[in-house]
Chains A and B, each alone.
Chain A
Amino acid sequence: MSMSETSLVRARNVHKAFGPLEVLKGIDLDVAPGEVVVILGPSGSGKSTFLRCINHLEAIDQGFIEVDGEQIGYRLRDDRLIKLSNSDIAVQRSKIGMVFQQFNLYPHMTALQNVIEAPIGVHGQNRNEAVRYAKELLNRVGLAEKIDAYPRQLSGGQQQRVAIARALAIRPRLMLFDEPTSALDPELVGEVLATMRDLAKEGLTMIVVTHEIGFAKEAADRVVFMDGGVVVEQGPPAEVLTNPSHPRTRSFLSRFI
């Protein structure tokens, strides 16, 4: 078995442009099951766009992305590549959890309702089972006593932890985090990172876009540095963060010391 066949995520030569603006210029990335990959890079380098391509919130222009052996957005049949229907794409998305910078909780629903919405509505889970699992997850992120609170009644850090529980509730094979702590007050960053570190330890496959170098050092199996729509360098955190080989990585990291 080759290395690529054991990967959970395979991205090959991914290109994406918005009109004349080329945002992704050929991204190759493999993520093994259980691996935690942290993507670093300056603002505007295409990190969010790449994450959004992985669950097809953006369609890519060239190359392909595969998650768990299934090509995202397309199916190969008799050597012909066919675009999937919206409902098939929805099924693919429903196996990938996503956590947003702005939390994006449903403000008209309580924490518990936020968490059970997709399991019941998309995965057809029975309500009692969904509620039981949602309570377990909210307990795990330390919000057992907040299940009936509406998002506005929660602090930013609590909201983001609800959002993490909501993403976990669909039992995802892959979790995508897009700058999960960037919208938080500094004193609230720690609690969210702690939750994410626990998930990493439990073996969840995660791709995390963040500016938290400390989190990358401790929790990442691999750090990927992106700039200008390409992967500039990648490797174990100890290597990339302490002894970067590329001058652009070096100048980016120098801002955090």
Chain B
Amino acid sequence: MSGSASIQTDDRLRDVKLAHVPFPVTRLALWIFTLAVALGFAYIVAINPNFGWPVVAQYLFDPTVMQGLWVTLGLTVVAMIIGVVLGLILAIARMSNDRLASSLASLFIWFFRGTPLLVQLIFWYNMSTLFPRISIGIASWDTNDLITPLTAAIVGLALNEAAYMAEIIRGGLLSVDKGQAETAEAFGMNRARALWRIIIPQAMKSIVPPTGNQLISMIKATSLVSVIAMADLLYSVQSIYNRTFEIIPMLLVAVLWYLFITSILNVGQGAIERYYNRGDRGSTPADRTKEYATPMVGAAHEHV
């Protein structure tokens, strides 16, 4: 059977335009199995009386819990903002040619990353036993007036965060092609403007994902401030179960709120990442899903 005619029909049938995609039986089965397991687990948890769901519902919007939630959110936002700003300054100092600046920044990062946050918080809270009075020049304050649980919590969380953010930001700045800083310089831009307009926007692509991580760990790290008597979310549910002994349901209240905030942050992070990827082609999540849906994978992968 070697007729050229049969080869030609064969070739016509090979046109990929005519291709059928086989029904994805295995994938579908996996989906069904996973969903069944998840639903089964959810059902077991929902009907288990030990979880105390009615109590969870009763306390989810309790004023004490709400107040704790706001403290947690407020602490996270304030500490994160200070941490990012200070972290940026530290990163720039660490990368500068000035030996004094870079050594001081390294020392700061070394100390605040190298000691447990819990210990740092307790030190800040007990600052008055170390330094009863704080004076700058002729001004002088009683340490106990300055260091309340709130300020100790903010200072402790922010300085610790700054040390981590400094390294994240430094990594991001280093990831930008050196030609970019040089071009900005060649066009007569000063350092600050080059950093702000050219380098940082490009560094954001690698700064945002780990910063999202930091933010989420920060929300949970704020629960450490309960040791210095700050009434955050965890502290507030603890104060309730100390009265009612409904430990598991109250912890579930806290868990639900932590998960809720984290979910919102994930959505926000996705949006920010898409914004800073705008100069890239073929790197938006929409394109990623297309890779599965169409056989034109090659086109999406054409990198420069």
Contacts and interface: CB of A to CB of B under 8 A. Distances in A.
A140 B14 CA distance: 48
Contacts of B187: 93-94, 98, 117-118, 122, 170
A90 B278 contact: no
Interface in A80-105: 86-87, 90-96, 98, 100, 102, 104
A152 B279 contact: yes
Given A100-B179, A117-B197, A152-B304, A108 B189 contact: no
Contact of A106 (B180, B276, B281): B180
A102 B179 contact: yes
B189 A150 contact: no
A55 interface: yes
A107 interface: yes
Given A107-B279, A152-B279, A93 B179 contact: no
B280 interface: yes
Given A93-B186, A104-B179, A150 B278 contact: yes
A94 B202 contact: no
A190 to B, nearest CB: 20
A150 B148 CA distance: 51
A73 interface: no
A57 B184 CA distance: 11
Interface string B61-72: 000000000000
Nearest to B275: A108
Given A107-B202, A121-B193, A98 B188 contact: no
Given A57-B185, A107-B279, A152-B304, A90 B179 contact: no
A98 B190 contact: no
B52 interface: no
Contact of B188 (A90, A102, A104, A151): A90
Contact of A108 (B179, B183, B278): B278
Interface in B126-178: 177
Contacts of A121: 189, 193, 197
A59 to B, nearest CB: 13
A126 interface: no
A153 interface: yes
Contacts of A107: 202, 279
B182 A57 contact: yes
Contacts of B185: 57, 90, 93
Contacts of B201: 108
Contact of B189 (A55, A90, A109): A90
A118 B304 contact: no
Contact of B279 (A117, A150, A170): A150
Which of A87, A96, A108 is the most central at the interface, judged by chain B CB atoms within 10 Å of its CB? A108
Most buried by B among A95, A107, A151, A170: A107
A112 to B, nearest CB: 14
Contacts of B186: 55, 57, 93, 96, 98
Interface of B: 177, 179-180, 182-183, 185-191, 193, 197-198, 201-202, 276, 278-281, 304
Interface of A: 55, 57, 86-87, 90-96, 98, 100, 102, 104, 106-109, 117-118, 121-122, 150-153, 170
11 contacts: A57-B182, A57-B185, A91-B188, A95-B188, A98-B187, A106-B183, A108-B202, A118-B187, A122-B193, A150-B279, A152-B279
